[in-house]
Structure formats: C-alpha cells, structure tokens
Structure 1
C-alpha cells in the first residue's frame, strides 16, 4: 500500500501534519484531508505547494488570510 505523508512548510523546516493520507479535498478556504487512522481534518488557510508522488509526500503552505498573500 502506498502511504502518503502531509507536511507543512515552515521557516525552520517541514512539520509533519498527517501520515497515511487517503484523500485531499480543496475547499474555498483551505484543505480537508482524510487519513487512514486519524479520520478527517480541516486545515484552514492551507494550500498545496507541491506533491512528490514517488516520495509519497504532499507539501503545504499557509496563505496569509488577511492579505491573501501566497507564502
């Protein structure tokens, strides 16, 4: 089984948010991600930076909600 990790890009390095992600849905104000063992979680203001398909990683970043500035 292919296991996908979801990470948030931060200044000090990447923070692991979820392991074993099973689905990702883009919402108007962020993302909703389901995982095998942790259920569904919402990440307001998050956006996809890049996806490493061979490495099984999705990298997110936080959008500045006040100015809609992309990070």
Structure 2
C-alpha cells in the first residue's frame, strides 16, 4: 500500500501538513487530503507542485490568489 506525506512549500520552507494520506483530491477550492483515522483536511488555494512516489511525498504550493482566508 502506498501512503504519502504532504508538505506545503511557502517562501522556500516546507511544513508537514499530514502524514500517511490515503487519498488526495484536487477541487476548485484547493486540495482535499484524507487518511484512515482523521477528518479530511482541505488546503484552500493550493496546487500540487510535485509528487515523489519513491520518497513518499507530495509538495503543495500556495496559489498566488491566496488571500489568507483563515484556513491552511
């Protein structure tokens, strides 16, 4: 089974958002992350920058339209 860790890249720094995700969905609002035992997390105004299947990580980037809506 393949489980990935998701990090957000902002200003050259990476912050871990969620570990061992089991699902990822790109929506109009952003990216929805799912795991087995936690509630889904929606990352507003984000896009996928890269996926490393061997290293088990997804890097997200904030879209320029991100206006600090109070959510991640």
TM-score category by the smaller chain?
A: 0.7 to 0.9
Moved segments of 4+, more than 4 Å: none
Matches within 5 A, 1:5-24: 5-24=5-24
1:20–1:37 contact (8 Å) kept in structure 2: no
Question: CA, structure 1 residues 48+35, in 2 after alignment: closer, same or farther (shift >3 Å)?
Answer: same
TM-score of the superposition, structure 1-length normalised?
0.82
Matches within 5 A, 1:1-71: 1-65=1-65
Range with greater deviation from structure 2 (13-22 or 28-37): 28-37
Deviation of the 1:12 alpha carbon: 4.7
1:22–1:36 contact (8 Å) kept in structure 2: yes
Structure 1: 5+ residue runs without aligned partners? 67-71
Deviation of the 1:13 alpha carbon: 1.6
TM-score of the superposition, structure 2-length normalised?
0.81
Taking only aligned residues, the RMSD between alpha carbons, in angstroms, comes to 1.5
SS in 2 for 1:17: strand
Structure 2: 5+ residue runs without aligned partners? 67-72
